[in-house]
Amino acid sequence: MRTPAPGSPLLHRRDWLAAVPLWALGATGCSTLPPEGTPLQISDYGLPFVAATVDGMEVLALVDSGSASSVRISQRLARRLRLALTPVPGARISGLDGRSLPVERGELAALTLAGRRWAPLAVEVTGTRLEDIAARVGTGFDLQIGWRLLEQAVAVLDYPVRRFRWADAPGLGGLHIPYALSGGLPVVQAVVAGRPVALLVDTGAPENTLGLDTLGQPAGTLASHPLQLGTLERTPLWRAKDLTVTQRALGTAGTLGTPFLREFRVTILSGQHQLQFG
């Protein structure tokens, strides 16, 4: 996920720089899921949210494939739940203002999301980072669903009908695009303005972005450039940004965010390392 206001300097989590060990999910139980799933709310800022239940308490969750963690919760929610937290030795994460924030671990009794239940479930708390992001994007939320949870089943973000669900199998039709994991995050190969590039698929990004060196444009520039993703061709808007750190960590030239993704029913087929665009 990227959390700056559109056009502002890059400010986001850099999960891959947090030096936080990725740790296993708790035991999983799954209930029968209605085919329609649960509402997918797209905020004015351009981020996808869903309702979830944590230890019997309903909360709003950000669906963020650009986070390499499984689940993070706000410090506020951890306090409300009186969650016992254990610091992760040596693990820190950068706040939106550049502050170094601690990373702590805890365990929820249960999380239910779109009819699927995890009990118990290990989570992270990263100081007030989620509260800071919520204030920046203008939507109060207390839960961040990252890639490590999304890849546990067939996750479907159906942007056109605004639904999120878990499926037993992929839907019919659609374009299947292979992805590779880089830093624990999904990266696809594409062509932008005739140039082969690797792009992070980030549901938590409110813009499509490209590095300054990709097209040689100054920071903040918003311009249309042709994109070819498999046989799919579009000409989306791209924001030019300094992505030097991301490029070094992930080997990516930019990000596919909500402005591109919201046209599709996006299905995560982790068993096949594919994304289905329907």
- Summarised one tens digit per residue, pLDDT across range 131-164 is 999 999 999 999 999 999 999 999 999 999 999 9
Q: What is the DSSP letter of 193?
A: T
Question: Of 35-49, 162-176, 180-194, 204-218, which gets the smallest average pLDDT?
Answer: 162-176
Neighbours of 194 (CB within 10 A): 8
Distances from the Cα of 13 to the Cαs of 1, 93, 97, 194, 267, in angstroms?
Answer: 7, 7, 11, 30, 24
For 233-257, what is the mean pLDDT? 95
**CA 32 – CA 202 distance, rounded (Å):** 28
**What CATH topology corresponds to 175-277?**
Cathepsin D, subunit A; domain 1 (2.40.70)
Task: Decide whether 15-167 matches 175-277 in CATH topology.
Answer: yes
21 close to 14: Cβ distance less than 8 angstroms = no
Q: Does 34 score more than 50 pLDDT?
A: no
Distances from the Cα of 203 to the Cαs of 107, 137, 156, 222, 259, in angstroms?
Answer: 25, 14, 12, 19, 10
Residue 96's pLDDT is 63
Q: Enter the pTM of the model.
A: 0.86
Question: Of 27-36, 172-181, 201-210, which gets the smallest average pLDDT?
Answer: 27-36
Which residue is it, tokens 């546990």?
152
Domain layout of the chain by residue ranges = 15-167, 175-277
| Residue 213, C-beta contacts closer than 8 angstroms, at least 6 positions apart | none
| Superfamily (CATH) of domain 15-167 | Acid Proteases (2.40.70.10)
Using pLDDT thresholds of 50, 70 and 90, give the confidence band for residue 121: very high
